[in-house]
């Protein structure tokens, strides 16, 4: 398995025809962080998602930043994990989370999203996720148990999070900033009044997270909640 992982980390940078290639980093057993890129101010800026492998197949948390890099992710799963993608969960409507949805549809991979996300994507004439998530929804797939939660507005009105209690992996998406973040980033659709309340709720509820994956930049642990609040206090 160690050999496969080592090869897997090198292969993605050789896939695709554009200059933007995904990276794939093992997080803990059966969990991988996929990172795709978009040019912002002439610099590639990273966007994180998650892949979870189970006996029955892989679960994809967020697509890459567009269809082409999403193809790279799906190819990596096929070649390295050697399993199908059972479904994807999209954590909000921005294209760094759902920009590859058309590629999912092309491959008949079901996608889940909150009703707010579905409504927003419809209003923007974007491809729409196939399945509706409740505001709090528990999943079980083989030995994997996880929760999808809408904790309240923040980075966007529709942002959701995903919690894997057995592995203590918390996927915060763009709602939670990296411990290394220097700014809040894109706040065009943010609710700056409710965002701090939402983060405090998450901080109380998931302080035992071992791995906290933000939507962008480096991940860490629960200190990401505190860093997000620090950045919000400046707005």
Tell the burial category of 29 from Cβ atoms under 10 Å away from its Cβ (0-12, 13-18, 19+): exposed
pLDDT at 12 over 60: no
Q: What is the pLDDT of residue 31?
A: 98
Q: Which domain holds residue 74?
A: 2-233
The structural domain count of the chain equals 1
Active site residues: 92, 94, 96, 155, 186
SS3 of 119-177: HHHHHCCCCCCCEEECCEEEEEECCEEEEEECCCCCCCCCCCEEEECCCCEEEEECCCC
113 pLDDT higher than 90: yes
Q: Please indicate, yes or no, whether the overall pTM of this predicted structure exceeds 0.85.
A: yes
47-75 core/surface letters (b: 16 or more CB in 10 A; e: else): bbbbbbbeeebbbbbbbbbbbbbbbbbbe
Q: For residue 44, give the CATH number of its domain.
A: 3.60.15.10
**pLDDT tens sequence across 137-196:** 999 999 999 999 999 999 999 999 999 999 999 999 999 999 999 999 999 999 999 999
């Amino acid at each position: 398995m160690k050999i496969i992982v080592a090869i897997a980390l090198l292969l993605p940078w050789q896939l695709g025809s554009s200059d933007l290639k995904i990276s794939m980093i093992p997080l803990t057993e059966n969990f991988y962080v996929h990172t795709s890129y978009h040019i912002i101010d002439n610099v590639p800026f990273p966007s994180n998602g998650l892949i979870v492998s189970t006996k029955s197949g892989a679960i994809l948390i967020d697509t890459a930043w567009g269809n082409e890099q999403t193809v790279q992710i799906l190819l990596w799963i096929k070649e390295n994990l050697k399993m199908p993608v059972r479904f994807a969960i999209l954590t909000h409507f921005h294209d760094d989370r759902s920009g590859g949805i058309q590629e999912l549809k092309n491959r008949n991979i079901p996608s889940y999203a909150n009703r707010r996300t579905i409504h927003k994507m419809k209003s923007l004439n974007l491809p729409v996720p196939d399945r509706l998530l409740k505001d709090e929804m528990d999943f079980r797939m083989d030995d994997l148990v996880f929760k999808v939660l809408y904790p309240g507005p923040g980075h966007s009105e529709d942002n959701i999070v995903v919690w894997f209690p057995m592995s203590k992996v918390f996927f915060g998406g763009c709602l939670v900033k990296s411990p290394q973040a220097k700014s809040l980033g894109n706040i065009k659709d943010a609710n700056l009044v409710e965002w701090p309340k939402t983060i405090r709720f998450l901080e109380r509820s998931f302080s035992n997270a071992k791995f906290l994956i933000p939507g962008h930049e480096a991940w860490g642990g629960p200190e990401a909640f505190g860093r997000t609040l620090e950045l919000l206090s400046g707005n």
